[in-house]
Structure 1
Amino acid sequence: MTSLVARPSRMPTAIRLGLRELRGGIRGFGIFIACIALGVAAIAGVGSFARGLVEGLGREGRVILGADASFQVLHQELPKPVVDALTAQGTLATMATTRAMARIAAGRSSLVELKAVDPSAYPLIGTLGIEPAGTAADLLAMKDGRYGALVESALLARLDLKVGDPLILGELTLTIKGVLRQEPDRLAGGIGFGPRLMISLDALRTSGLIQPGSLIRWLYQLRLDQRLAGDTEVRRVVADMRTRFPEAGFDVRTRMNASPQLATQVERFSQFLTLVGLTALLVGGVGVANAVASLVDRKRDDIATLKALGATGGTVFIATLTQIGGLALLATLIGLAAGAALPSLIVGAIGTRIPLPIATGLYPGELATAAGYGLLVALAFALWPLGKAHDVPVSALFRDTVDADGRLPRWRYLVATAAALGALVVLSVVASFNPRLALMFMLGAAGIFVTLRLVAFAIMAVARRLPHPRHTGLRLAIGNLHRPGALTPAVVLSLGLGLTLLAVIGLVDSSFRRQIESALPARAPAFFFVDIANSEVPRFDAFIAARAGEAKLERVPMLRGRFVRLGGRPVEEIRAREDIRWALSGDRGITYASELPPNSELVEGQWWPADYAGPPLVSFDQRMGAGFGLKIGDEVTVNVLGRNITAKIANFRAIHWDNLGINFIVVFSPNTFRSAPHTHMATLTFPTDRPAADEVALLQQMATEFPAVTTVRVKDALEAVGQLATQIATGMRGASLVTLIASILVLAGALAAGHRSRVYDAVILKTLGATRPMLIGTYAMEYAVLGTVTALFAVGAGSVTAWLVTTQVMNIPFVFSPGTAFGVVGFAVVVTVGFGLLGTFRALGEKPAPVLRNL
């Protein structure tokens, strides 16, 4: 690099000319640099932060999981031969998790996330934080006739308890011995619906909560010998256990994938934020094109002079490209520096509030991807206007150009532009967690860009054909929309994409919120009841009939099982779509029924007779079946209670999920599981709204009469979901601000680029007698029309996109929100008119004499 600077004569002439141009500084390219730097910083920051989370999860996987490997099974404990085989591999700790109702003698109750552990072995890895300090073996042991319990502070607040108070769980009275402050393996268990309650395994077995078919997850955490605890040894042990006990039905997690769902969610959210950053870059690309076009326009005399002295069009192009490339590289480096620092800044500011391990550092892959995005966007959007520099004629020295040259660049520059855009698409697909989504995004963005361009042309065409009104200001405003050098294309492109994204996020959020707050509660059940033992069904039905006889009770048997084979193929070999892949991982709820379940519609095949006694049959969800490539007659194998059960598909159902009724992906013929140990689940729906106090009273009575039944009040669950939706929507809106900031920057750049022509117009009109108020009104009308039309397009395009997201991805009805639409339109008009008039005031302040002397 030193030799290049010291001996520039060795450089090609075109590059040397471009570098000399850079000596003049970056004046006029602030918007260019800001747009590229903002987008690159967003992508680099999001990528680095997400990679830091994934790396942190990987490095701390042993602590997060609490073991080297965890073997999990539902309903019943693993057989003794399997447990003995695990024990032979290292140190084994057994635990169980479930949801249950904890209550106090006064009648109040709360849903809790119950965790029963072996106090002598838990935790195998990591530290259990307890206040007051103590050991699990001491605090959970039976003393004075009661087992001890550890709880989170939230449970104390809900039931107005303190350490030392009694707490009833099932048929057992516990004593609260301490508050849980740190649970090393909490992340591996996912997000819970209630506060944690930790007891011993002996206490769980005494509580009466363990019933045949109870929804209890048994976990066997294995810590290998430290001498053999390499990743290869962990994989060997897991493979050996699967080979020796293929019918055991356990799922396995290892320290290499301690929290796969969390890692997947991190990657998905980072994908969304990366697409937001890419959207900001694409919007910024409009600013790049505007800046380059403005540069070519300002340099027309210099370019013509170079050509008069013998420079070729190619030399001019390379010189200008060198200048633009240097500025793009500078902007990219600024963005990379900001993005690379983001994880450390977040950890330093709010790291203690993030319950996740974040490995800060430089991640070359993520930074290289962000740099590639930035440079490709700059190149793709600069080539077209740069190509026009090739054909600036020498005659530009001797006459003014009133209208811009509307000819296309030479074919070589068109090919180069297409190649740069293609490389940008390839990079987005290759670097994406979901290539299909990335490809759809890029195609959608291209479609919106083309459509916005057509919208701009349509505005200009309509304005050109409108009759001339008598009002002078209105006539000037209409003329400004289509005159040579009009701001119409720049303004529409600048705001359109950012406003469309804002409309999509707002409309999806409003549809989801309306579904939760309005549509669902009117038809949704008031309660869900889980883990109703077979032996308790008659008494449970009688209890509901006596206390809520007017309500509708829907009760179905429920088991848990995992798919093993679908259509003769192991589930590991099925490449399902992203939106249905979740059904293949972990356990799913399954049931059996004699009749077609409510909220379902038979769409293919026949339902079995009520007294069917032949080989097992199964009814499959139509959408899932199509996604897995299944058809009538295919075999489906599920593992239930450690046994593989195979049934043929008899029919497909369309399931209506939107009323929160009980539905299952698969429903088996009654003879398949009727004799198997299982529980029931039920919903209770009141014909009219009930006071909250009545519902709470029923919940407390249920907790007292049926301590083993888990009761969930639906309105509480909906409120929790609503709060989560609010947090997600707030985060999405915050992320979309990056795109809006880029849009505003580009708009400001477009208006700044048109400042010279505005000054010319204002001076001529003032010389001819136009007043300042008339000119302000004229420009305000022009900007208001542009902002309104652009916003209306954004609302239309955003509505279509939001409809696709809600109906095809989220499977909820789309609800158009006028408030969101008016908000987008109002925002666009305010921003466009505000920035436009800000530049207009500067133009109106120019004195006529100096401008006229230099015409």
Structure 2
Amino acid sequence: MTTQPWRITLRLLRQDWRSGELYLLSAALILTVASITAVGFFTDRVEATMDRQGSELIAADLAVESSSSLPDTFQAESDRMGLVSARTLEFRSVVVADRGPQLVQIKAVDPAYPLRGQLRLRDGFDSPDRTIAAGPPAGEVWVESRLLRLLDIGIGDPLGVGDTQLRIGAILSDEPAQGGGFFNLAPRVLMNRTDLEATQLIGPASRVTHRLLLAGDARTIADIKPWLTARLPPNASLVDAREARPEFAAAVDRAARFLRLATLVTLLVAGAAIALASHRLVERQTDAVAVMRCLGAPRHLLMRVFVLRLVLFGLIASLLGCLLGWLGQAGLVAALSGWFPSDLPSPSLAPILVGVATGMIALLGFAVPPLVQLAKVSPLRALRRDLGTPRTSAALTLAAAGLALSLLIFWQADNFALAWKLLAGVLGALVSLIGAVLLLVRLAGGLAGRSRGVWRLGLAALARRPSGAVLQIAGFGIGILALLLLAVVRVDLLRAWQDSLPVNAPNYFLINIQPHEVEPLRAFLRERDIDENELYPMIRGRLIRIAGREVKPTEYENPRAERLATREFNLSYGEKPQPDNRIVAGDWWPDAKAPPQFSVEQGIAETLGIKLGDELVFWVSGHEVSGPVTSLREVKWDSFNVNFFVSASPALLGNEPATFITSFHLSADRESVIPELTRRFPSVTPLDVDAILKQVRQVIDRGVLAVEYVFLFTLIAGLLVMYAGIQASLEDRRVEHGILRTLGAGRRALLSSLAVEFTAAGLLAGLLASVFAETTGWLLAEQLFELEFSFNPTLWLIGVFGSGLLIGLAGTLATYPLLIRPPLQTLRRAG
């Protein structure tokens, strides 16, 4: 008896597959698992890269990182304890070749660098990699290959770095500490630290990241950590190899979570397809189950067979979905290839377990309630077809689907608060969507009573099956919404942002201007008729206390506040507020002799909980500076002028070491000024905002492409829902068409009524998707980006009429075979 259920299960499963009964259900389940595992395999590869690098991410076992020079006592203590050490300085600057200047990320290193891992070099574009365990020799630089392409130079050519010329010795293929981490915008340049003084690029207040790298046995590293921690300045931090690059780990985690949540949309739509396909499967197998009951099969045996068949089918379909997901992750890697400096490692098998579990939860949640009713089929059904199929409890169906969806949302979101918000948003959107569909279906029923001919038949058919129409229109509407929403975000919001930029907005920034260069630089710009903005002093400082309360990143729930609490601020001072600033609370200081005080941008004040009257304490240039907040400002950031989150009175910061910053507009035909400026002022770093925005747009476009790639699964799921809705109503349509044809309706009239029905369903789905897409776009523009949003009529035309045409054509073609069958054959089968 123990093998009997398995034997029956395998036989029925084989028969179902041969007859095509499981094709639709398997397609929906495979698609769901494929979308989940494609993202899972991708994020697994990224996380494996971070885990694999370990100590190589910082080229050491332990690093001390600071924005200013580190105390010599740190080096002395590490030498005393027998640790190997090396120093690095990292900063952004501009290098010059015959073709012009180029912004780069420069790292100056000791000969002992790297302490962990190896450098990989090439002697030409087509040369193989070679490994080396030491940094570049004096007088030589190693550069990333794209810098050679950008400047059209080669190995052996000179490269202007500040006041000196250094020879390009090799192409830098890979280094243990990537500097910018996974996401690199500027090409990298590696140089010897002994050449740094000759470049004259570093001044007392220059923006430089100093690192002391330490390596040794685990016990000694563990012993020095408390000693260093107790003596760290507020603007310095310890970076452990096991906790290397937490900002990139957080960025990857957020991106992975977003992509996983995007796959839940596919699960939501595919779940409707699974439920519809299960309903269709139940109807097709009711007669077979009735015969088995007549032959003496007990109900408990049938229940066992149904569960085993469902589990076995789910495992097979889930594994096929995992295979498709493994192939699909290659598309994500290709879409985001520009984000990563080297090839990613192969994925592990962990996403397969996640994919199989997801598939089984989805299948059990959406498919079990319809299939459970098969065990309740009466043996009389074999003789009396009018008995029909036992009805499934609507409460059981909704509870099972809701439980499965909730479980998967909480699992994929990996954040309780986020999961609750997402679940509430999904339920709210579904209730709104279903309510709108019911209203529109009822409206279609009203129009059917006033119509004639094929219009009456088509609209009446839509209103006659409201539950099927709701699932069909809502499912496909969600798929269309995904596509339209991406169009709104990519096109409409980007255009609105571009339109908000003022004419002749500054497109160049000059940073790292040393105090002795301020007047010569002003004269240089004036001689070339360039109207620069004011040159503003800029001082780096870390916020350490607010109103006597120590600033601890872990105490902030807001991720942005947490990041701000860990970073250094660009502080400035001046007698007057900048032109783009408006005082919204408090008062600006009356003159340069006013006592020490701060003015804070209102947005960051809200984020960090800063109020008027609070005393702020910053760590600046090795000591504390403090003052009360006497005003809050509203800043127009999109002016592209120089602005600061925190400004101080001259009495507070006027004596601190500072560099200066300015911005100006330079037309395309005058860009030759920049190479001249770079040669005249080698320590000044010009930032081409247009070029940076172009690079940022490329990164964003890659991210949007990845999201679109994931939403492609959603669109396919929407098509499956439509097809499943059509298939679920085929039995009823077959009888209806048989009766109508017996009463004299022609094929052409019925075909036309089908076109009317499905086109109307498509128009309704497109209308709802357009409304939701425009509403979401408006909310994003007004609440998040603070942009003026204008409705896009083209989006409505494409959404409504494109959806109507697509669904109308697909639905008509799918049901056309019903019209070919003779009506007598149809009625005999129904009887």
> 253, 266, 270: which is aligned to 1:284?
270
- After TM superposition, the structure 1 = structure 2 runs for residues 68-467 of structure 1, keeping only pairs within 5 Å, are 68-74=61-67, 76-89=68-81, 90-104=83-97, 108-122=100-114, 124-131=116-123, 140-141=137-138, 147-186=139-178, 189=181, 191-223=183-215, 225=216, 228-229=217-218, 234=221, 236-243=223-230, 245-247=231-233, 249-299=235-285, 323-336=309-322, 338-339=324-325, 355-356=341-342, 358-360=344-346, 362-364=348-350, 366-382=351-367, 385=370, 409=393, 413=396, 417-418=398-399, 421-422=402-403, 424-466=405-447
Aligned-residue offset at 1:492: 0.8
Q: Report the count of equivalent residues.
A: 821
* Contact in 2 for aligned 1:251/1:586 (Cα 8 Å): no
Q: Aligned with 2:559: secondary structure?
A: coil
Aligned to 1:731: 706
Match status 1:54 vs 2:34: no
> Distance between the aligned counterparts of 1:703 and 1:100, measured in 2?
10
Question: CA distance change for structure 1 residues 851 and 430 in 2, over 3 Å: closer, same or farther?
Answer: closer
Match status 1:693 vs 2:669: yes
Match status 1:29 vs 2:18: no
Which amino acid in the other structure matches residue 718 of structure 1? Answer: L
* Contact in 1 for aligned 2:164/2:198 (Cα 8 Å): yes
Question: CA distance change for structure 1 residues 286 and 234 in 2, over 3 Å: closer, same or farther?
Answer: farther
Which amino acid in the other structure matches residue 25 of structure 1? Answer: D
The CA deviation string for residues 147-185 of structure 1, in whole angstroms up to 9 with x for no partner, is 333333333333332333333222223333333233332
* Contact in 1 for aligned 2:181/2:248 (Cα 8 Å): no
Question: CA distance change for structure 1 residues 337 and 68 in 2, over 3 Å: closer, same or farther?
Answer: same
* Contact in 2 for aligned 1:603/1:652 (Cα 8 Å): yes
Aligned-residue offset at 1:678: 0.9
> Distance between the aligned counterparts of 2:184 and 2:572, measured in 1?
24
More deviation in 793-802 or 185-194? 185-194
The CA deviation string for residues 629-651 of structure 1, in whole angstroms up to 9 with x for no partner, is 33333343333333343443333
Aligned to 1:715: 690
* Contact in 1 for aligned 2:573/2:647 (Cα 8 Å): yes
Match status 1:581 vs 2:562: yes
Which amino acid in the other structure matches residue 247 of structure 2? Answer: Q
Which amino acid in the other structure matches residue 359 of structure 2? Answer: G
Question: CA distance change for structure 1 residues 383 and 343 in 2, over 3 Å: closer, same or farther?
Answer: closer
Question: CA distance change for structure 1 residues 752 and 639 in 2, over 3 Å: closer, same or farther?
Answer: same
Q: Aligned with 2:613: secondary structure?
A: coil
- How much is the aligned-residue C-alpha RMSD, in angstroms? 3.7
Match status 1:683 vs 2:663: yes
Question: CA distance change for structure 1 residues 314 and 606 in 2, over 3 Å: closer, same or farther?
Answer: farther
* Contact in 1 for aligned 2:763/2:804 (Cα 8 Å): yes
More deviation in 386-395 or 826-835? 386-395
The two structures have a TM-score, normalised by structure 1, of 0.86
Q: Aligned with 2:590: secondary structure?
A: coil
Which amino acid in the other structure matches residue 684 of structure 2? Answer: V
The CA deviation string for residues 204-253 of structure 1, in whole angstroms up to 9 with x for no partner, is 21111112211122222222x2xx237xx64553333011x132631232
> Distance between the aligned counterparts of 1:138 and 1:815, measured in 2?
55
Question: CA distance change for structure 1 residues 618 and 198 in 2, over 3 Å: closer, same or farther?
Answer: same
Question: CA distance change for structure 1 residues 312 and 450 in 2, over 3 Å: closer, same or farther?
Answer: farther
Aligned to 1:12: none
Aligned to 1:748: 723
> Distance between the aligned counterparts of 2:622 and 2:229, measured in 1?
13
Question: CA distance change for structure 1 residues 400 and 423 in 2, over 3 Å: closer, same or farther?
Answer: closer
> Distance between the aligned counterparts of 2:226 and 2:250, measured in 1?
24
> Distance between the aligned counterparts of 2:652 and 2:800, measured in 1?
58
Question: CA distance change for structure 1 residues 66 and 706 in 2, over 3 Å: closer, same or farther?
Answer: same
* Contact in 2 for aligned 1:43/1:273 (Cα 8 Å): no
Aligned to 2:572: 591
Aligned-residue offset at 1:61: 1.8
Aligned-residue offset at 1:102: 1.7
More deviation in 662-671 or 393-402? 393-402
Q: Aligned with 1:707: secondary structure?
A: coil
The CA deviation string for residues 459-510 of structure 1, in whole angstroms up to 9 with x for no partner, is 2211222264554121111111112477422321321222222222221112
Match status 1:525 vs 2:510: no
Q: Aligned with 2:21: secondary structure?
A: coil
Which amino acid in the other structure matches residue 663 of structure 1? Answer: N
> Distance between the aligned counterparts of 2:78 and 2:796, measured in 1?
60
Which amino acid in the other structure matches residue 665 of structure 1? Answer: F
Aligned-residue offset at 1:126: 1.3
> Distance between the aligned counterparts of 2:35 and 2:208, measured in 1?
43
The CA deviation string for residues 104-140 of structure 1, in whole angstroms up to 9 with x for no partner, is 4x58222222221223544653124142679797963
Aligned-residue offset at 1:349: 13
Which amino acid in the other structure matches residue 472 of structure 2? Answer: V
Question: CA distance change for structure 1 residues 779 and 293 in 2, over 3 Å: closer, same or farther?
Answer: same
Which amino acid in the other structure matches residue 635 of structure 2? Answer: I
- After TM superposition, the structure 1 = structure 2 runs for residues 665-676 of structure 1, keeping only pairs within 5 Å, are 665-676=645-656
> Distance between the aligned counterparts of 2:401 and 2:815, measured in 1?
36
The CA deviation string for residues 317-336 of structure 1, in whole angstroms up to 9 with x for no partner, is 77756654553344334334
Aligned-residue offset at 1:574: 1.7
* Contact in 2 for aligned 1:329/1:375 (Cα 8 Å): yes
Which amino acid in the other structure matches residue 36 of structure 1? Answer: L
> 586, 600, 606: which is aligned to 1:605?
586
Aligned to 1:534: 515
> Distance between the aligned counterparts of 2:695 and 2:332, measured in 1?
26
Q: Aligned with 2:205: secondary structure?
A: coil
* Contact in 2 for aligned 1:44/1:340 (Cα 8 Å): yes
Aligned to 1:559: 539
Structure 1: give runs of 5+ residues left out of the alignment. Answer: 9-14, 142-146
* Contact in 2 for aligned 1:452/1:492 (Cα 8 Å): no
> Distance between the aligned counterparts of 1:423 and 1:836, measured in 2?
30
More deviation in 640-649 or 713-722? 640-649
The two structures have a TM-score, normalised by structure 2, of 0.88
Aligned to 1:144: none
Question: CA distance change for structure 1 residues 139 and 579 in 2, over 3 Å: closer, same or farther?
Answer: closer
Which amino acid in the other structure matches residue 272 of structure 1? Answer: F
> 630, 639, 647: which is aligned to 2:610?
630
Which amino acid in the other structure matches residue 626 of structure 1? Answer: E
Q: Aligned with 1:677: secondary structure?
A: coil
Aligned-residue offset at 1:786: 1.0
* Contact in 2 for aligned 1:249/1:643 (Cα 8 Å): no
> 801, 818, 821: which is aligned to 1:846?
821
- After TM superposition, the structure 1 = structure 2 runs for residues 618-657 of structure 1, keeping only pairs within 5 Å, are 618-657=598-637
Question: CA distance change for structure 1 residues 466 and 130 in 2, over 3 Å: closer, same or farther?
Answer: closer
Which amino acid in the other structure matches residue 556 of structure 1? Answer: Y
More deviation in 182-191 or 487-496? 182-191
The CA deviation string for residues 382-432 of structure 1, in whole angstroms up to 9 with x for no partner, is 355457668878887787769999x88276x36xx4366246425533543
Q: Aligned with 2:637: secondary structure?
A: coil
> Distance between the aligned counterparts of 1:529 and 1:136, measured in 2?
36
The CA deviation string for residues 673-728 of structure 1, in whole angstroms up to 9 with x for no partner, is 21110101111147xxx3x121x122223212222111112222222222222222
Percentage of pairs with the same residue: 26
